Chain A
């Protein structure tokens, strides 16, 4: 599904990703953990095509595409979804309006006709029930005056609506109460299937108890310094990131 080879990226001349290697087979869920500022969001942004990050080396293959050569909206239409760590507000544009535009953009990209209003509304009704949002809420402006937790719920709602093949969820579990956390976990599990993959960026083991990942990776100073099974999350929770310096030297040597 996704294969990242020796990926280097910088912003304003400052290197942030320093040689990432990562393979995510179809059907798998991988968690990425690591201290603040290690480059997790940067990695997700680079994969989604944010232009402020300059890729200086390396390659990324997604399905049969050279991912880095696609425009951000083409990546989206090819099934890449980024759940933002800090979802933005777009005043005056309703969530539904944006979603419909998003669905139709995909359809247009694949040469399909626009979605009929009635089918769209059926889909909305079904998915808001999963995430416990109200129709009033999704009719409001995109994330306009949503609480932190509501914004994250909304990211999951959008993900369910768009059914991506590769979901990159950047701390979608941060700042959630226990019910919301279950909603998010449930949303991710719902999409779990042999032809989809998910990358979970998280700081907490908590989410991983509801969504059991196939692999856990530790990102440190722009490199993956350790990988393991779900048990790695337990180790990290117990020990913190104190022992990573040695791993880093191991990874670069």
Chain B
């Protein structure tokens, strides 16, 4: 019995991190440290208007009064915020390239290597050898360290009335929209990491879907951390006007380095009446080695506001990377009949730790939420699911269904579930289911007896476990997620 369990553990003990390479290029990186001058520098680099700088400085002042949260089920040495560099951009990106021809070939190569083609022509043709082939119906915003280096299909999107650009560009081109919505879902003082982000955010994506428009293609942002000792603080804002629809995906990777790197992002979504936003994440930041050396600290605040009646926001996330993940994509269900969904697969292995979950705040009448969280822990991975379902007195007939399942591979890993429920309306209906299972030796043997290799058997069982979540991902991303999971849990046997 023991022998076999060890085999399964060995299977997942090591893995190759395919995205761990470094792009060698000259970059503009400011010295580590954080003060008002650094914020002025970042704002200046981006030619920001005065109001934006003021907004950042105010955030910084608030942040200085705040303390990093102690409640997560996570263990790490305190972060020295003065040792991080808050801005790094490839030199070649100074004076943002107008077209792809002006983008540094090394950058293009980096994205090609990651399977993220930035040439629209190529995308249409399909790029051979890309590790994660994407369909050609996806527009990409590529963020490299602190700057967006390219955004594809802007023309086609513009024809449909959709704005898809970097947040820096939006601040220049659409200040009225940014002013109106920035910080309206995640206020500057919301939490420690959101405050830090508000002060120093560098780039990220901006999406605006006008009334009644169904976005003609999937939108995606690909975040890449490259520079050393640099934090990435991106900020994404998506606004879906009444009756509009958009599906958005983000992907993330970083080189393999021995130091921990900080990633503190903020994502805000706003859905007006009848609007729908589907937000999918495939997070594959460098997780550190099997002894816990290196890896990304991923502290992220993601929140969507279903402002309008019958609006809908779905978060789907596949989290396989990062040394530490602290992340609770949430929905504020303000509108009557609004719908919030959270589908999550989180994998922790090696020494990875994740404290993740969601918050569903029911305000509107008949608002509905669904939470399906699947946690997979292997090796010495530690994972906590933390979910809050809050029903305010106004939310008559609110409904929530929560299901959290944990799958343990080996017996040195851990899974913990912290569901919080606060209901202040007696007409609300809440259902909660939770299971914890070990990857069954019986299941393994059944598959082996049918002829499958151990690797294929683990992959099959894990994929089955995650099915309810994968089926929520857009087709091509589901394939990508499945492959990623296979790579994550794969290792040559014996």
- Can you name the residue of chain A whose Cβ is closest to the Cβ of B465? A92
Contact of A105 with B449 in the complex, beta carbons under 8 Å? no
Contact string against A for B residues 448-467, beta-carbon threshold 8 Å, 1 for contact and 0 otherwise: 11111110100011011111
- Residue of A12, A49, A75, A91 near B464 (CB, 8 A) is A91
Contact in complex: A158, B450 (CB < 8 Å): yes
Q: Which residue of B4, B451, B464 has the most chain A CB atoms within 10 A of its CB atom?
A: B451
Q: Are A90 and B450 in contact (CB under 8 A)?
A: no
- Complex: how many Å from CA A158 to CA B446? 12
Q: Which residue of B lies closest to A79 (CB)?
A: B451
Number of A-B contacts (CB under 8 A): 85
Cβ of A24 < 8 Å from any Cβ of B? no
Instruction: Pick 14 A–B contacts, CB within 8 A, sort by A.
Output: A12-B1, A51-B3, A72-B448, A84-B446, A91-B465, A92-B464, A93-B464, A97-B460, A98-B447, A101-B456, A102-B451, A105-B450, A141-B464, A158-B450
A69 at the interface (CB under 8 A from B): no
B1 touches A52 (CB 8 A): yes
Most A CB atoms within 10 A — which of B441, B443, B446, B461?
Answer: B446
Cross-chain contact A92 with B446 (CB below 8 angstroms) = no
A46: interface (CB < 8 Å): no
> A48's closest neighbor in chain B, by CB?
B449
Query: Which of chain B's residues 354-374 have a Cβ closer than 8 Å to chain A?
Result: none
Question: Within B255-303, which residues are at the interface with A (CB < 8 Å)?
Answer: none
Q: Please tell me the size bucket of the interface on B.
A: 20 to 34
User: Is residue B468 contacting chain A, with contact meaning CB distance below 8 A?
Assistant: yes
The answer to the question of A67 belonging to the interface, with a C-beta cut-off of 8 Å to chain B, is: no
Does A82 reach chain B (CB closer than 8 Å)? yes
The 9 closest A-B pairs by CB, nearest first: A92-B464, A93-B464, A92-B467, A105-B451, A76-B451, A102-B450, A72-B448, A52-B1, A51-B4
Q: Is A88 an interface residue (CB 8 A)?
A: yes
B residues neighboring A (CB under 8 Å): 1, 3-4, 7, 440-443, 445-454, 456, 460-461, 463-468
Q: Are A72 and B445 in contact (CB under 8 A)?
A: yes
Complex Cα distance A46/B451, Å? 16
- Complex Cα distance A162/B446, Å? 14
**B443 and A105 form a contact (CB under 8 A):** no
Q: Complex Cα distance A81/B449, Å?
A: 7
Chain A residues within 8 Å of chain B by Cβ, number: 33
B interface footprint on A35-60 (CB within 8 Å = 1, 0 otherwise): 00000000000001111100000000
Inter-chain contacts of A3 with B (CB < 8 A):
none
**Closest approach, in angstroms, between the C-beta of B485 and any C-beta of chain A?**
13
List the A side residues contacting B454 at CB < 8 Å.
73
How far is A159 from B293 in the complex, measured between Cα atoms in Å? 48
> What residue in chain A is nearest B442 (Cβ atoms)?
A88
Which residues from A are CB-within-8-Å of B449?
A: 48-49, 72-73, 75-76, 81-82, 84
Within 8 A of B (CB), among A128-181: 141-142, 158, 162
A55 CB to closest chain B CB (Å) equals 13
CA distance A93 to B465 in the complex (A): 8
A81 and B306 alpha carbons, distance in the complex (Å): 54
A29 within 8 A of B: no
Nearest B residue to A103 via CB reads B451
Complex Cα distance, B467 from A50, in Å, reads 28
On whether A106 and B451 interact (CB within 8 A), knowing A90-B464, A93-B460, the answer reads yes
Measured CB to CB, the nearest residue on chain B to A101 is B452
Other than A52-B4, A76-B448, A90-B446, give 10 A-B pairs with Cβ distance below 8 A: A51-B4, A73-B448, A75-B449, A91-B465, A92-B466, A93-B464, A93-B467, A98-B460, A105-B450, A158-B450
Query: Closest CB-CB distance, A165 to chain B, in whole Å?
Result: 13
Closest-by-CB residue of B relative to A168 is B449
**In the bound complex, do residue B446 and residue A102 qualify as a contact, i.e. CB atoms below 8 Å apart?**
no
Q: Closest CB of chain A to B277's CB: distance in Å?
A: 27
Report chain A residues within 8 Å CB of B452: 73, 101-102, 105
Are A101 and B460 neighbours in the complex by a CB distance under 8 Å? yes
